[in-house]
Structure 1
Amino acid sequence: MSFFGKNIKKIRGIKSLSQQAFADLFDLKRGTLGAYEEGRSEPKIETIIKIANYFSISIDDILTAELTVNQLLKFNDRLTLTPEELEREQFAQVPCITEKLADDYLEYYDNQSFIDDMPRLTLPINTEKDFRAYTVTNLEMTSHDKGLYPKDVIVGEKVPHKVVKKLNNGTIVLAVTENELILRRLYVTADGLVLRADHKNIDDQTITVNDLKELWRVRYVFFRRIPDFSDSMEDKMAFLEAQMKELRNSI
């Protein structure tokens, strides 16, 4: 039996990769990777080559001996650090609701096994809080060529039901209801919760707190493109200053 399973498990530990994240790198199923690590199955040679090349490890080393942490980190061989002794920053592993997973999420949002198997974003954010990422799928939160476009990714922090009505009006949220995922601005009214799109042609949607399965307050956004910063406040101020200077010089 080769040392392949033990070595890739050690690589995951050093690189802070979950089984799912590691499996995604090489188009593997999480269960298949688990079988490799537990010695219940041996990989195809193509898989071995991919992993060895990716981490710059010789095929002979990854198969025939237990790799040391020093080898994997390219440290001097005299160092004797172990994964447990390494001091590394802990990043949050944020489950991501992709377009393909949206329907399944509505059904299994409260199933921990399903959540554990979701693709994840590794982010340097608070590991003590509960976050959920979501891939934007429509133009409801766009206005005048600005805002959120399909393929952008938002990251939301979970909002307890008892806090929902205390959120500031206009907060961007991802609402999980019985039948849909709704990414809009939240407004609390006497009639309930109004979810309002930034796009002017989209009608408001009113729900109650009881309609909510989950609510995630948007904290971070990852744009698929570089946003246009040309209309920033700094640019406007610089333009006004230039205009004032030109006016003074003309007097």
Structure 2
Amino acid sequence: MSFFGKNIKKIRTVKGLSQAAFAELFGLKRAALGAYEEQRSEPKIETIIKIANHFSIKIDKLLTSEITVNELLQFKENLTIANNDVKTALFAKVPCITENNSSDYLAHFKNDIFIDELPHLSLPINTTKVFRAFTVSNLEMTNQDKGFYPKDIVIGEQTPTNIIKKLTNGTLVFAIVDDTILFRRLYVTDNNVIFRADHKNIEDKIYKISDVKELWRVRYVFCKRIPEFSTSFEDTLMNMQQEILKMKAKIE
């Protein structure tokens, strides 16, 4: 038994044609086409040649192997899914700063050619805005096993330095300051900015606003592992249960 029946059914599905419409296209009876698709009978060689020529498919390919949708789309330009043109979604290309290229980024972040040559992420986000991706490389933004870990990726929206004072305190950002890239929370006091880590053992870094060369406000996050989404109420309840168990153990 050949693959003819399976293949013409796939072609018909990709083209969005009913059995009746497909049969009419090649001068066949609908019942005969149904029998071919169900592999209850084989067509005449003239029918095979007619269908193969119409869709620019080699006869041996039509008969001896199951054709994939991708192959069908390549055989003839107008062979598209559901009889409509295949539309490609417009994704934003986001340059990505990694451990390997971060020092080069610090030296060439104003060079458009260098930026174009960085590795990029393709993401379904606003294509009218400018974004950067930054790969986390330390534990500064962790707190009690929660937060951001190495290899996590944060996506920041370009934020002009002249609006830093308008940002809400605690905004998550990454920035170029003093020839380094900082990923922390931003706090503003008068003409200074404080970059604060979530890790309690990491000291604040304080600079003048004018020292900030680039600032990216974090909008999206890709975590290397599945984060915990427990609420503060659940955390509190768990802590209370643990304390009760400790008290009970002492009493006993």
TM-score interval (norm. to shorter): 0.5 to 0.7
The answer to whether the 8 Å contact 1:169/1:188 transfers is yes
Structure 1: 5+ residue stretches without partners: 1-69, 240-251
Deviations 1:145-202 (A, max 9, x none): 1000111000000001221110000001001124100000000102500110000011
User: Which of 65, 72, 75 matches 2:73?
Assistant: 75
Report the Cα offset of residue 232 of structure 1.
2.3
Distance 1:176 1:90, change over 3 A: same
Give me the whole-angstrom Cα distance separating, in 2, the residues matched to 1:169 and 1:131.
Answer: 21
Distance 1:219 1:80, change over 3 A: same
- For the pair 1:155 / 2:155, whether they are aligned, the reply is yes
Give me the whole-angstrom Cα distance separating, in 2, the residues matched to 1:233 and 1:200.
Answer: 19
The answer to whether the 8 Å contact 2:72/2:79 transfers is no
Query: Which structure would you say has the larger Rg?
Result: 2
Give me the whole-angstrom Cα distance separating, in 2, the residues matched to 1:76 and 1:104.
Answer: 41
Amino acid at match of 1:176: I
What secondary structure is seen at the aligned counterpart in 2 of 1:115? Answer: helix
- TM normalised by structure 1 equals 0.61
Sequence identity (%): 49
Q: Which residue of 2 aligns with 1:35?
A: none
- Superposed CA RMSD in Å reads 2.5
Q: Which residue of 2 aligns with 1:91?
A: 91
Q: Which residue of 1 aligns with 2:122?
A: 122
What secondary structure is seen at the aligned counterpart in 1 of 2:73? Answer: coil
Give me the whole-angstrom Cα distance separating, in 2, the residues matched to 1:88 and 1:218.
Answer: 27
The residue correspondences of 1:31-110 to structure 2 (distance < 5 A) are 72=70, 74-75=72-73, 77=75, 79-80=77-78, 86-110=86-110
Distance 1:234 1:201, change over 3 A: closer
- For the pair 1:111 / 2:100, whether they are aligned, the reply is no
- TM normalised by structure 2 equals 0.61
The residue correspondences of 1:174-213 to structure 2 (distance < 5 A) are 174-213=174-213
Report how many residues are paired. Answer: 167
The answer to whether the 8 Å contact 1:106/1:177 transfers is no
Deviations 1:34-70 (A, max 9, x none): xxxxxxxxxxxxxxxxxxxxxxxxxxxxxxxxxxxx9
Distance 1:80 1:147, change over 3 A: same
Distance 1:88 1:237, change over 3 A: farther
Q: Which residue of 2 aligns with 1:64?
A: none
Q: Which residue of 1 aligns with 2:10?
A: none
Distance 1:99 1:74, change over 3 A: farther
Report the Cα offset of residue 103 of structure 1.
0.4
Structure 2: 5+ residue stretches without partners: 1-67, 239-252
The answer to whether the 8 Å contact 1:195/1:206 transfers is yes
